[in-house]
Amino acid sequence: MTIRSLLLAGFAATGLAFVPAAHAELPAGLSGDPPTLAPMLEEVMPAVVGIQVTGKARQTPDHPMFNDPFFRRFFGIPDDPQPQQPRGVGSGVIVDADKGIVLTNNHVIQNADEVTVRLQDDRELTAEVVGTDPDSDIAVLRVDADDLTEITVADSDNLRVGDFVVAIGNPFGLRQTVTSGIVSALGRHGLGNRYEDFIQTDASINPGNSGGALVNLEGELVGINTAILSRSGGNIGIGFAIPTNIATTVVEQIMEFGEVRRGQLGVVGQNLTNELAEAMDLDVTRGVLIAQVVEGSPADKAGIQERDVITGINGNDIKDFSELANAIGLRSPGEKVRIKLLRDGETRNVTATLTKADETQASAGNGDTGFPALEGAKIGAIPEDHDLAGEVEGVAVLDIARGSPAASSGLRPGDIITSVNRRPVDSLEAFRELVNSDAQQLLLHVRRGDGALFLLVR
């Protein structure tokens, strides 16, 4: 199964199809005879809402032929952009009744002109978008209404694989639908968000469930239903939810600042592989190998060096770069973090004070270049295990986010950029200086495998 199979559960449903799904048996010992979840659901379901959006007008492509009257009449293109009609797109959860705060997914309401929240009692309320965070796929809405019901938020760190959970939402436009299952796995990542630590569940999650509630048997919110893995678009027993501890951190910052202000360490690194560990004579095979430390960054001030291997943050193990990105990117500027690392086979502990993400030129995994067409590309030092390491000077394309502008640029992970606008690049700092200029386009010379090419990026 590849990431191409991941379907966002907020996509509008175009039809219904029978898809066999995996279901877990309810645990013995529930209250009532026979056992039932009804009392808990009666308390919780008023806090789960439906969300509709009115999308932005569909725009005609910016090309001269689309302005030709004959062309427009022949193909039936209207003279004025046609607004999209309101459509049921997802779900949300009321987390603060007094302030009218509703939590949902960013992909549910992105590009919306108007957002409407529909309550269990059929009231329809126009919602204000307080703030969004595409990197974690969280959005915060506010509605003005009395007699709202909020949900109790649990500590998602207490979840265990095998715990029973219930998903509540509006799949396929069917309001107030409940499915049950178990926590199938924890700590899933690599599904498309920059910051992620998904709960995997076999509770049925379908299109329209995005932004809805994943609750434990106490009726406490443990996650925000977000996505499914599927071949057909229907549920096959693999769904994902954002843990409440991530969502709560994002919500708190949005409520305070109107945006998320992320901490930054100032390193470029890569996953430690078995081959790298053997070559460096290390006793560990999990962690993040530091390829570059930005001068003057929190990492530099804390004494972190190239070739160090970060294995822990604040007492929690760090197994790969995604976990390091979460551990740093979900913290605020000014926070202190305790970092466990290996250097020359010896364990060391250092403390770093994080800075704001845009105050350091390179970061733990965000890879932003400052050039819009390269948004989503993670650029860093050439890894030591790259085929061209030591043969050429330049910077490496470490990763490209699926669906990002950079994905359409022609660059591929593993490319080595050796020059920008005919000026050689010998370091990440040099690359960023050239890319952050006022140039309207970039002419990149790229080494790819045994060949080379030029890419013009606008």
How many CA atoms, within 13 angstroms, populate the side-chain half-sphere of residue 403? 12
Which of the following is catalytic: 91, 133, 136, 137? 137
The helix (H) or strand (E) run that includes residue 300 is helix 298-302
In sequence order, what DSSP letters do the residues of 144-187 get, joined into one string? --SS---PEEP-GGG--TT-EEEEEE-GGG-SSEEEEEEEEEEE
The CA-based angle 338-136-176, given to 5 degrees, is: 130
The pLDDT, as a whole number, for residue 165 is: 94
The pLDDT, as a whole number, for residue 95 is: 94
Every domain of the chain and the residues it spans: 1-76+83-258, 263-359, 372-457
137 is catalytic: yes
The pLDDT, as a whole number, for residue 361 is: 38
Q: Which of 78, 75, 74, 43 is nearest to 58 (CA)?
A: 78
| One-letter amino acid for residue 174 of the chain | L
Q: Does domain 1-76+83-258 have CATH number 3.40.50.720?
A: no
Which residues lie below 8 Å from residue 291, measured CB to CB, with a gap of 6+? Answer: 268, 269, 270, 306, 380, 381, 382, 383, 384
| Cα 51 to Cα 48: distance, rounded to the nearest angstrom | 10
Hey, which residues does 255 pair with through a beta bridge?
Answer: none
The helix (H) or strand (E) run that includes residue 347 is strand 346-353
Burial 177-206 (b: 16+ CB within 10 A, else e): bbbbbbbbebebbebbbbbbbbbbbbbbbb
The CA-based angle 257-262-263, given to 5 degrees, is: 130
**Per residue in 145-204, pLDDT tens?**
999 999 999 999 899 999 999 999 988 778 888 999 999 998 887 666 667 788 999 988
The CA-based angle 350-354-357, given to 5 degrees, is: 140
| Cα 280 to Cα 276: distance, rounded to the nearest angstrom | 6
In sequence order, what DSSP letters do the residues of 353-420 get, joined into one string? E-EEGGGSSS-SS----S-GGGTTEEEEPPPTTSTTTTT--SEEEEEE-TTSGGGGTT--TT-EEEEE
The pLDDT, as a whole number, for residue 235 is: 65
Cα dihedral sign, 366-367-372-375? negative
| Cα 264 to Cα 40: distance, rounded to the nearest angstrom | 41
Same CATH topology for 263-359 and 372-457: the answer is yes
Q: Where are the alpha helices (DSSP H) in 228-281?
A: 244-257, 274-279
Answer yes or no: are the C-beta atoms of 238 and 37 closer than 8 Å.
no
| Cα 297 to Cα 453: distance, rounded to the nearest angstrom | 34
Which of the following is catalytic: 91, 136, 184, 210? 210
Which residue do the tokens 């403390």 mark?
A: 351
Which residue do the tokens 């877990």 mark?
A: 24
Q: Does domain 372-457 have CATH number 2.60.40.10?
A: no
The helix (H) or strand (E) run that includes residue 326 is helix 321-329
The CA-based angle 127-133-138, given to 5 degrees, is: 65
Q: Kindly report the pTM of this predicted structure.
A: 0.63
The helix (H) or strand (E) run that includes residue 126 is strand 124-133
107 is catalytic: yes
The pLDDT, as a whole number, for residue 88 is: 55
Answer yes or no: are the C-beta atoms of 94 and 104 closer than 8 Å.
no
The CATH architecture annotation of domain 263-359 reads Roll (2.30)
| Cα 25 to Cα 17: distance, rounded to the nearest angstrom | 24
The pLDDT profile of the chain, 458 residues, written as one tens digit per residue, is 433 334 444 433 333 333 344 444 555 446 566 788 889 999 999 999 999 888 754 444 444 444 444 444 444 445 555 555 555 578 999 999 999 999 999 988 888 889 999 999 989 999 999 999 888 889 999 999 999 999 999 999 899 999 999 999 988 778 888 999 999 998 887 666 667 788 999 988 887 888 999 999 999 999 999 887 766 666 677 889 999 988 998 898 898 888 888 888 888 777 887 777 776 777 887 888 887 788 788 998 999 988 889 999 998 888 888 788 888 887 888 889 999 998 888 889 999 999 876 544 333 333 445 577 787 788 888 888 888 888 888 899 988 877 677 877 888 889 999 888 778 888 887 887 787 655 667 878 888 887 777 677 87
The pLDDT, as a whole number, for residue 386 is: 87
Which of the following is catalytic: 107, 230, 322, 363? 107
